């Protein structure tokens, strides 16, 4: 079951409550043409939910890659996706950045502030996730991550002073309904819909995000 932010627009993905991780991963590949790959999963150990990686202090239990060459696993083929999740039905759903989208990651408090500002500015948003580690990820056109340092400097900010992380090639985000141990599931703050299939450029969102991160310091 996917958890969503109250008041968010109706989603096209996932289509219904109770949809399995396999079905959801296939829909991401089929309907959004996103590459996906399976990550770790949660296992019950002595009554506790532990990461399948075996690390009792795992910082992202059930929500990280299983191997160093994870990028080679990522695929947009629904057939291959279905085969991978049939092998491990409870594997987390991970999306590589730097392919069909990049992601701008900010603290949850700054993210909600930026969302309100973007709504007032009538900006067109792409999908936005909210993870249990209290970070939000704004999906933008691929190639956006490399632009961010210069865009932030042009706005008069020092990049290290803002908790704004640009995720491009070689990085990934966890997709709903992936769970982070007992902390809860990744949710959509702004769901994928036919209306936001065309993603914004990082330049369109960076002013609101940098302002919100600056306020959030």
The verdict on pTM exceeding 0.75 is yes
| Nearest in space to 38 (alpha carbons), one of 86, 2, 104, 6 | 86
Q: What is the pLDDT of residue 5?
A: 44
Q: What is the pLDDT of residue 71?
A: 95
Q: What is the pLDDT of residue 18?
A: 53
Q: What is the pLDDT of residue 81?
A: 97
Residue with tokens 């990686």: 53
Q: What is the pLDDT of residue 215?
A: 85
Q: What is the pLDDT of residue 10?
A: 35
Contact 40, 66 (CB under 8 A): yes
Contact 73, 29 (CB under 8 A): no
Tokens found for residue 194: 């036919």
Which residue ranges in the chain fall short of pLDDT 70? 1-18
Beta strands in 62-186 (DSSP E): 93-96, 102-107, 128-131, 135-140, 165-167, 172-174
């Amino acid at each position: 079951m996917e958890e969503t932010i109250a008041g968010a627009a109706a989603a096209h993905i996932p289509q219904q409550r109770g949809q399995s991780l396999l079905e959801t991963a296939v829909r991401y590949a089929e309907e959004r043409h996103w590459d996906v790959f399976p990550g770790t999963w949660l296992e019950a150990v002595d009554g506790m939910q532990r990461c399948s990686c075996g690390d009792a202090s795992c910082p992202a239990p059930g929500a990280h890659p299983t191997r160093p060459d994870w990028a080679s696993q990522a695929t947009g083929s629904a057939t291959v996706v279905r085969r991978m999740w049939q092998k491990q039905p409870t594997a987390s759903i991970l999306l590589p950045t730097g392919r069909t989208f990049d992601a701008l990651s900010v603290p949850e408090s700054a993210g909600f502030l930026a969302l309100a500002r973007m709504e007032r500015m009538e900006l067109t948003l792409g999908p936005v996730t909210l993870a249990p580690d209290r970070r939000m990820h704004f999906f933008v056109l691929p190639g956006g991550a490399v632009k961010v340092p210069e865009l932030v400097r042009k706005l008069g900010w020092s990049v290290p002073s803002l908790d704004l992380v640009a995720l491009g090639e070689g990085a990934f985000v966890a997709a709903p309904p992936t769970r982070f141990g007992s902390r809860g599931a990744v949710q959509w703050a702004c769901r994928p819909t036919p209306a936001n299939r065309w993603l914004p450029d990082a330049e369109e969102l960076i002013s609101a995000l940098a302002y919100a991160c600056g306020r959030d310091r």
